[in-house]
A and B are shown apart, each in its own frame.
Chain A
């Protein structure tokens, strides 16, 4: 990867990496730090990373950084983070269904939430998600399907409430 390729990666992937992290964490400043760390590592290892693998490399680094950050945060105060996530996602929602879905995704664990976001936002395949999150393809499939069914139950519950 050349210097120019790296700068192209910044243009192409920084928004997606940032969105993935901020939707998971719900904290913009922490998400920015994680994105910066991810690109810093890409720059350091640019000689080893192929241009085609740059995106998954960035998401992989960002995801692991985020998990480390969540673990560190859990030792201190977990409830605050949850509130922050709720607030940030509530602000972005429009429509009752979307709000319920956003509330439901906040109730998922970080792994399930990451699976949904990587699948829906970035369109990664199970295999690619498995590479990013260090999971097997079957694990991705099982965990993601479980997350979908949970979200569906939330929607069913909403339907029942309306009825």
Chain B
């Protein structure tokens, strides 16, 4: 293909785009030498070529692929990271039935502890007054059966004297004594009954002494039986009174093994349980 005035532009463009062979390039250069008026146009087209300028992509680190970036975990290690949720097992005391049984057992233990310990506690904490009342009467009962009638008389008199002394104690010493004093008033009544009985006892004795010297053993024994029956009634009366006195005892400490519990704080609770037990007992008796 020969370069002429009609196709020179395409050859010029191909020339600056470096799309021509060496021979074609020489042909173009020869055409320009032969036609210098096309020189200027050729130069203008050459100026449209952009010279490559240095340019740098600074963040090459973002493009590199390093071995550490491609590191992957082995399947065995991945499996070791897995976690399975275990089954939730209900605790032994979780069910309502077992809880209720445990509660009932606790109440039963408390009741048993309360019924066992207070008897010794009450005995230990008895006041001197009740001791004075109880012991001589027991002694009289014993003495009546064994010793002579005169001895019985003396013992009863002593007892009465002691009770009288206790009853005349000043009320200002202790508040507990005040309560004792109030408790004593029915006791004094009781003592009067005792004195009455001893009076009768003296009458019996007089009968014995004034009776004819007939050793009627039957008569004596009948009299003694009368005395014993009389004294037994007196003792039963005294016992009843004693029980009444003890109900107002302020010390209500409960001992369960080595543990000491203040009974006053559990007073309401123990009363209720006691009432329940009594109710059950009465029902059973019925």
* Chain A interface residues toward B at CB < 8 A: 3, 6-7, 10-11, 14-19, 22, 32, 35-36, 39, 43, 92, 97, 101, 105, 116-117, 119-121, 123, 125-126, 141, 144-145, 148-149, 151-152, 155-156
Contact among B9, B17, B51, B59 with A119 in the assembled complex (CB-CB below 8 Å): B17
Q: List 5 A-B contacts (CB under 8 A).
A: A116-B48, A120-B51, A148-B13, A149-B13, A152-B44
* Chain B interface residues toward A at CB < 8 A: 9-10, 13, 16-19, 41, 44-45, 47-53, 55-57, 59-60, 62-65, 67, 70
- Is A36 touching B63 in the complex (CB atoms < 8 A)? yes
- Is B52 touching A120 in the complex (CB atoms < 8 A)? yes
Which 7 residue pairs are nearest across A and B when measured between Cβ atoms? A19-B55, A151-B48, A18-B57, A120-B50, A14-B57, A10-B63, A39-B63
- Is B13 touching A145 in the complex (CB atoms < 8 A)? yes
With both chains docked as a complex, state the minimum distance between the C-beta of B44 and any C-beta of chain A, in angstroms: 5
With both chains docked as a complex, state the minimum distance between the C-beta of B124 and any C-beta of chain A, in angstroms: 95
- Is A126 touching B17 in the complex (CB atoms < 8 A)? yes
List B contacts of A17 (CB < 8 A).
57
Q: How long is the Cα–Cα vector from A17 to B29 in the complex, in angstroms?
A: 34
- Is B47 touching A14 in the complex (CB atoms < 8 A)? no
Residue of B nearest to A147 (CB): B48
Residue of A nearest to B53 (CB): A92
List A contacts of B47 (CB < 8 A).
97, 101, 152, 155
List B contacts of A141 (CB < 8 A).
19
- Is A126 touching B19 in the complex (CB atoms < 8 A)? yes
List B contacts of A35 (CB < 8 A).
57, 63
- Is A117 touching B50 in the complex (CB atoms < 8 A)? yes
Contact among B17, B50, B53, B64 with A144 in the assembled complex (CB-CB below 8 Å): B17
List A contacts of B44 (CB < 8 A).
152, 155-156
With both chains docked as a complex, state the minimum distance between the C-beta of A23 and any C-beta of chain B, in angstroms: 8
Which of A120, A141, A155 has the largest count of B CB atoms less than 10 A from its CB? A120
With both chains docked as a complex, state the minimum distance between the C-beta of A78 and any C-beta of chain B, in angstroms: 24
With both chains docked as a complex, state the minimum distance between the C-beta of A45 and any C-beta of chain B, in angstroms: 13
User: How many residue pairs, one in A and one in B, have C-beta atoms under 8 Å apart?
Assistant: 73
With both chains docked as a complex, state the minimum distance between the C-beta of B239 and any C-beta of chain A, in angstroms: 108
Q: How long is the Cα–Cα vector from A126 to B41 in the complex, in angstroms?
A: 23
List A contacts of B65 (CB < 8 A).
3, 6-7, 43
Given the known inter-chain contacts A3-B65, A6-B65, A43-B65, please indicate yes or no for A101 contacting B57, CB distance below 8 A: no
Q: How long is the Cα–Cα vector from A120 to B51 in the complex, in angstroms?
A: 7
Contact among A16, A125, A152 with B48 in the assembled complex (CB-CB below 8 Å): A152
List B contacts of A3 (CB < 8 A).
65, 67, 70
List A contacts of B49 (CB < 8 A).
120
Residue of B nearest to A104 (CB): B48
Residue of B nearest to A148 (CB): B48
With both chains docked as a complex, state the minimum distance between the C-beta of B138 and any C-beta of chain A, in angstroms: 111
- Is A123 touching B18 in the complex (CB atoms < 8 A)? yes
Q: How long is the Cα–Cα vector from A141 to B18 in the complex, in angstroms?
A: 12
Q: How long is the Cα–Cα vector from A14 to B60 in the complex, in angstroms?
A: 8
- Is B50 touching A101 in the complex (CB atoms < 8 A)? yes
With both chains docked as a complex, state the minimum distance between the C-beta of A157 and any C-beta of chain B, in angstroms: 11
Residue of B nearest to A145 (CB): B13
- Is A155 touching B63 in the complex (CB atoms < 8 A)? no
Contact among B18, B41, B50 with A121 in the assembled complex (CB-CB below 8 Å): B50
Contact among B18, B50, B51, B62 with A116 in the assembled complex (CB-CB below 8 Å): B50
List B contacts of A6 (CB < 8 A).
65
Residue of B nearest to A21 (CB): B57
Q: How long is the Cα–Cα vector from A95 to B191 in the complex, in angstroms?
A: 143
Q: How long is the Cα–Cα vector from A141 to B10 in the complex, in angstroms?
A: 10
Q: How long is the Cα–Cα vector from A7 to B55 in the complex, in angstroms?
A: 19
- Is A7 touching B64 in the complex (CB atoms < 8 A)? yes
Q: How long is the Cα–Cα vector from A94 to B53 in the complex, in angstroms?
A: 12
Q: How long is the Cα–Cα vector from A56 to B55 in the complex, in angstroms?
A: 18
List A contacts of B64 (CB < 8 A).
7, 10
Q: How long is the Cα–Cα vector from A123 to B16 in the complex, in angstroms?
A: 11
Q: A101-B47, A105-B50, A144-B13 are in contact. List 5 more A-B contacts (CB 8 A).
A: A3-B70, A10-B60, A19-B55, A120-B52, A148-B16
